[in-house]
Amino acid sequence: MSERYNEKKEGLIDITGLIDDLIKGAFHMKWRFLILIILCVVIYCGYKRITYSPYYEATSTFTISASISAEASDTYMDNATANQMAKTFPYILESGVLQEIIAQDLGRQSVPGKIEADVMENTNLFTLKVTADDPEMANKILQSVVKNYPTVAEFVIGSSQLTLMDESGVPASPANPFSYRHEIIIGGIIGVVLCILLDLLFALGKNTVKKEEDFKRLFSVKSLGTIPHAKFHKRRSKVQELVVLDNPRIPRNFLEAARTVRRRLERASKETGMKSFLVTSAMPGEGKSTVSANIALALAMKGYSVILVDADLRNPSTAKVLGMEEKETGTLEVIKGEADIKDAVQPYKDSGVMVLAGSSPIQDTSGVLSGDNMKEFVKKLEEQADFVIIDTPPSALLSDAAIVAQYVDGAVFVVRQDYTEIDRILDGMEILSGSGVEIKGCILNDADVKAGESSTYGHSYHAKAETA
């Protein structure tokens, strides 16, 4: 079975399913994603604040011109020549000679700042900008450049003159003021990007059953039906509202789905004579106990006599699902021969379903479930009812289901939509099939079915009433 699945999985990309997983993942993880975004904002803002280092900019705007000779200081070269001189100005600023002279002028080994020049195109107008960690130092470097530039430039372009047009003076505030608003936006963007990446990884790594057709495609097992996600109005009382068919407010699509499952089990029974069906799932939380109860109720509504058995001896839950009181004698005592079936079963309301619930939980179940006692137990149940529905523990987690499967006619596998990884479902099915039982089909539980009447119900309640 796993080999067939691996062959079908290769090269298969379900874009629609991926988008659906992205949306569901984002909705499911919305609060965690919100916390992640807030953490990114806090961490990023804190990091930027701790590492924040202000710098200051002192600027001056000049024109540059050169005279033909020292004696003819009032006679200037034409504008084209002056413009060419202005273009050489930035290169002179970067020269090692000027840097050394400025450093000596400031009494430093090197210039404690950055000097830049920007020349306006086709003019001899330029802006000198000095950046330093200290505002006073930025202004001192600027003044030193203005004072020492002509000396260095004389060796390159001859005598030159700088004419001051504007000056910033000592900077009053940092050129890079810290902005919490800006850092919050950046941190938020980082958080959103991380959430998108995590959601994408989650969606790509999620390999679950999403629709009824997946049973045939992935497992070569037919579908017995789809049980929809049930919704109810929120009740004022704190009593748990059970998702069972005798609830007068059960959604119509839920009832119709249960009838579909019933018809297919009826067909299997008529064709093969099957009477006893084991109900299990791969993992806990898939709603197998609720499905077992609803299968039993659906069959009883058709007039069949039905016994619903809780064979999850480690964690009995059938009584809890149906809201019944647990008796001192139950499945365990009947299997061990300490009580008769008629003394242990109890009717569920007037539904026609007889319930053999669990009693005290035990951990060592293999000795109880194996052997002639279990075989005789199932045989007696089949003699007393048209259908026997046996709820067992998850097959991929415990061996109990595989042990019980040796003594029943068929098995029903419950798969909660978009919940359990396909590999785990395969494990559970293979373990169950190893016992020799025929898996009659799968039921897709708690499915997101788009139905017109489903929108009229308010409070969401998942079709799951078990913890194991």
Where are the domains positioned within the chain? 14-43+178-206, 56-167, 208-460
> Any idea which fold 56-167 has?
Alpha-Beta Plaits (3.30.70)
pLDDT surpassing 50 at residue 451: no
Contact in structure between 464 and 290 (CB atoms under 8 Å): yes
CA atoms of 380 and 407, how far apart (whole Å):
12
Using pLDDT thresholds of 50, 70 and 90, give the confidence band for residue 202.
Answer: confident
In eight-state DSSP terms, residue 236 is S
Q: How far is it, in rounded angstroms, from Cα 357 to Cα 363?
A: 17
Query: Quick check: 2 pLDDT over 50?
Result: no
pLDDT of residue 177: 92
> Which of 64-78, 298-312, 393-407 bottoms out in mean pLDDT, i.e. has the lowest?
64-78
Whether residue 106 has pLDDT greater than 50: yes
**Domains 56-167 and 208-460 belong to one CATH topology:** no
pLDDT grade for 8, boundaries at 50, 70 and 90: very low
208-460 in CATH: which number? Answer: 3.40.50.300
Which of 8-12, 35-39, 319-323 has the highest average model confidence (pLDDT)?
35-39
Question: What is the average pLDDT value for the chain, to the nearest integer?
Answer: 82
Q: Tens digits of per-residue pLDDT, 249-264?
A: 777 888 888 899 999 9
The region of weakest confidence among 58-67, 256-265, 269-278 is 58-67
Chain segment 273-322, per-residue pLDDT in tens: 899 999 999 999 999 998 999 999 999 999 999 999 999 999 888 888 88
Q: What is each CA distance from 168 to 64, 104, 125, 129, in whole angstroms?
A: 18, 24, 16, 10
Provide the pLDDT for residue 240: 41
Residues 6+ apart with CB under 8 A from 89: 64, 117, 119, 126, 149, 153
Q: Are strands 125-132 and 114-119 parallel, antiparallel or unpaired?
A: antiparallel
User: 237: pLDDT confidence band, cut at 50, 70 and 90?
Assistant: very low
157: pLDDT confidence band, cut at 50, 70 and 90?
A: low
Q: How far apart are the C-alpha atoms of 355 and 388, rounded to whole Å?
A: 10
Tokens 């194991």 locate to 468
How far is it, in rounded angstroms, from Cα 389 to Cα 296?
A: 7
Q: How confident is the model at residue 393 (pLDDT cuts 50, 70, 90)?
A: very high
For 387, the token pair is 């259908």
The helix-helix angle for 422-433 and 2-9 (nearest 10°) equals 150
User: How far is residue 409 from each of residues 6, 185, 195, 440, measured CA to CA in Å?
Assistant: 29, 63, 48, 9
- Please tell me the predicted confidence (pLDDT) of residue 17: 66
Q: What is the mean pLDDT of residues 125-152?
A: 87
**pLDDT confidence tier of residue 149, bands split at 50, 70 and 90:** confident
Q: How confident is the model at residue 211 (pLDDT cuts 50, 70, 90)?
A: confident
Amino acid at 149: Y
The pLDDT score that the predictor gives to residue 349 is 87
User: Residue 426's closest CA among 458, 450, 396?
Assistant: 396
Q: pLDDT category, 452, cuts 50, 70, 90?
A: very low
Which comes out higher in pLDDT, residue 224 or 248? 224
pLDDT at 76 over 80: no
The gap between the terminal CA atoms of the chain, to the nearest Å, is 26
Looking at per-residue confidence, does 371 or 142 come out higher?
142
Rounded to an integer, what distance in angstroms lies between the CA atom of residue 85 and that of residue 270?
104
pTM: 0.65
State whether the Cα torsion 127-132-134-138 is positive or negative: negative
* CB count in 10 Å sphere of residue 13: 7
Question: How far is 279 from 433, CA to CA, in rounded Å?
Answer: 13
Average pLDDT over residues 265-269: 90
Cite the beta strand spans of 27-105 per DSSP E.
56-66
